[in-house]
Amino acid sequence: MTYRLAIFVIFLAAMFAAAPARAQAGAGPDGIWLTQAGDAKVRVSKCGGGICGVVVWLRDPIDPATGKPQVDDKNPNPALARRRVIGLPLFSGMRPAGPNKWSGQIYNADDGKTYASHISVAGPATLRVEGCVGGLCGGEDWSRASQ
């Protein structure tokens, strides 16, 4: 009887250990993600063989200085500096780089610059977003958000 109980316990342990791996493997990047700071939501979707990310929500959508919608005013290109932040594409050239991983570039509206980037699904509710300049890299975890 103890032998059967031991086999059953091992079976249950294996099932519980495998569940997070299956959940992570099945969770893709598609959906809406809240940035780590909680100040923006980004819609991530498949596009052109990779993934795209577009700002769909801002905590503060109105610029207090102008009373108008936030614009990409840190962009060094004057024509692009007038575009609204809501609707702004953040990812470019994000191509598959492994299971649940993509590499490309990410635009940072806070400084108007584009950086080399790596994105990975770190769990069903976590998207790891990393950017690099030179040899220095940093990153943050985005949380899956409601619509």
- Strand segments, DSSP code E, in the chain are 31-34, 40-47, 50-58, 91-98, 101-108, 113-123, 126-133, 136-144
Between CA 45 and CA 47 the distance in angstroms is 6
What is the CATH classification number for the domain harbouring 98? 2.40.128.520
Domain contains 14? no
How many other CB atoms sit within 10 Å of the CB of residue 17? 9
Total structural domains within the chain: 1
For 79-89, how does the pLDDT look when each residue is reduced to its tens digit (9 = 90+)?
A: 999 999 999 99
For 4-33, how does the pLDDT look when each residue is reduced to its tens digit (9 = 90+)?
A: 333 333 333 333 333 344 344 457 999 999
How many other CB atoms sit within 10 Å of the CB of residue 11? 10
Between CA 5 and CA 45 the distance in angstroms is 46
Sequence-ordered list of residues with C-beta below 8 angstroms from that of 36, at least 6 positions apart, any chain: 140, 141, 142, 143
Q: What is the pLDDT of residue 133?
A: 85
For 97-127, how does the pLDDT look when each residue is reduced to its tens digit (9 = 90+)?
A: 999 999 999 999 999 999 999 999 999 999 9
Domain contains 56? yes
Domain contains 94? yes
Domain contains 17? no
Domain that holds residue 40: 29-144
Sequence-ordered list of residues with C-beta below 8 angstroms from that of 32, at least 6 positions apart, any chain: 41, 42, 43, 44, 56, 57, 144, 145, 146, 147
- Spell out the alpha helix ranges (H) of the chain: 2-26
Domain contains 75? yes
Domain contains 126? yes
Domain contains 23? no
pTM: 0.80
Domain contains 12? no
3-state secondary structure of 88: coil
